[in-house]
Amino acid sequence: MDPQVVARAPGRVNLIGDHTDYNGGYVLPMAIEQEIQVAARPIAQPTVQLTSEQFGEATFRSDSDERAAGWAVYVQGILRELRRSDWPPGFQMAITSSIPAGAGLSSSAALEIGTARALTAIAGEDWNPTEAALAGQRAENEWVGMQCGIMDQLTSAAGQAGHALLIDCESLSIQAVPLPGTLEVVVLDTRAERRLVGSEYNDRRAESAAAAAALGVPSLRHANETDVDKLSGVSLMRARHVVSENRRVLAAARSLRTGDFEALERIMSESHVSMRDDYETSAPSVEAMVEAATPAPGLIGVRLTGGGFGGCCVALVERGSFDQFSQFTLGRYRDRTGTIGRAYVTSAANGASLVEQS
Ligand code: GLA
């Protein structure tokens, strides 16, 4: 295929602030070097023809409401959100990716945002990262059936090289927080099977909404620690995580700015415990990885990252210690679990952009 446009969109790793986005709270993610590239051209037939090195081929009609099979549903979902009547009837798209699928690094958000970037360029429309991210979130919520928040799509669309993004998920305002040159960000992939990610995730979202309703606030963003103590059982646990995690995100952004690594260590560890005990999104593989990493050379802080129920941990390590850190951690992880995990060192990347346009 001779593409008219090639676009790229990165995956993301969240440094801190999980399950706060759909509660109107704060998150501190960054776009990563691993990315999806989408080469696209318009065609005259009302079909979308996809080829992916990783997943093979898929086709769906762009004029039908029939749900596409498998991974093509993400492309279909975002196209349904963006497409206007004056757009070309169909597209051919070739997709390549360096984001490991299913690991919790937002390969599906990157596919949505990469598709959006390529197709809006073909349609000659302006690029608005926040609008594209909201369209991606609606595609997930309304078409895919995943009740996710805005973090993954917004990070893939609006990432800034060398910076984490402090996002207020209520106003969608973004502050770029420079990452100190003395640390490196490491993704630790447990490579263990994840549990029923979608349904458990949607349960957490419903439980948070129920806790907010019980407190009479529009979202848990508007609850404080005293309010939370009025709750009991699951509502108490879910709300306590969200309220304390929002506080930790702001504290972590301050600590990054001042280079206070001792504070970061404590905050990341409290976040991990809160996700494990109150939000209950950890898994045995994740616990094994965090324990394996905890006394490793160069470690600043480590925690589960993203949706959870397996997937990846994020570690901040002192620059230059990646080899020793990862060897130590993955060796201990393998001894404990029999699984060969993976470690990637990654720097913060820019959000979606055009690579080529003819
Ligand atoms: C998934 C969702 C995000 C966010 C995280 C948890 O990645 O897609 O919206 O809720 O889980 O922080």
Atom of ligand 1 nearest to the CA of 109: 8
* 11 CB near ligand 1 (under 6 Å): no
Report, in angstroms and rounded to the nearest whole number, the Rg of the chain calculated over CA atoms.
20
What does the pLDDT read at residue 1?
A: 83
* 144 CB near ligand 1 (under 6 Å): no
Atom of ligand 1 nearest to the CA of 27: 12
Specify the residue with its C-alpha closest to ligand 1, atom 2: 148
Using the mean position of ligand 1's atoms as its centre, give its distance from the Cα of residue 287 in Å.
Answer: 19
What does the pLDDT read at residue 197?
A: 62
Tokens 């206007």 belong to 84
Atom of ligand 1 nearest to the CA of 21: 10
What does the pLDDT read at residue 102?
A: 80
What does the pLDDT read at residue 43?
A: 98
Using the mean position of ligand 1's atoms as its centre, give its distance from the Cα of residue 336 in Å.
Answer: 28
Using the mean position of ligand 1's atoms as its centre, give its distance from the Cα of residue 48 in Å.
Answer: 28
Contact 102, 137 (CB under 8 A): no
- Residues serving a catalytic function are 152
* 306 CB near ligand 1 (under 6 Å): yes
Using the mean position of ligand 1's atoms as its centre, give its distance from the Cα of residue 44 in Å.
Answer: 37
The per-residue pLDDT string of the chain (358 residues; one tens digit each, 9 = 90 and over) reads: 899 999 999 999 999 999 999 999 999 999 999 999 999 999 999 999 999 998 899 999 999 999 999 999 999 999 999 999 999 999 999 999 999 888 889 999 999 999 999 999 999 999 999 999 999 999 999 999 999 999 999 999 999 999 999 999 999 999 999 999 999 999 999 998 776 567 899 999 999 999 999 999 999 999 999 999 999 999 999 999 999 999 999 999 999 999 999 999 999 999 999 999 999 999 999 999 999 999 899 999 999 999 999 999 999 999 999 999 999 999 999 999 999 999 999 999 999 999 999 9
Structure tokens at 153: 């799509």
Specify the residue with its C-alpha closest to ligand 1, atom 10: 19
Among the listed residues 77, 87, 160, the one whose alpha carbon sits nearest the alpha carbon of residue 121: 87
DSSP string of 106-169, one letter each residue:
-HHHHHHHHHHHHHHHHTTPPP-HHHHHHHHHHIIIIII-----SHHHHHHHH--TTEEEEEET
* 24 CB near ligand 1 (under 6 Å): no
What does the pLDDT read at residue 16?
A: 98
What does the pLDDT read at residue 229?
A: 95
What does the pLDDT read at residue 238?
A: 98
What does the pLDDT read at residue 199?
A: 87
* 205 CB near ligand 1 (under 6 Å): no
What does the pLDDT read at residue 13?
A: 98
Atom of ligand 1 nearest to the CA of 140: 8
* 148 CB near ligand 1 (under 6 Å): yes
Structure tokens at 267: 């905050």
* 18 CB near ligand 1 (under 6 Å): yes
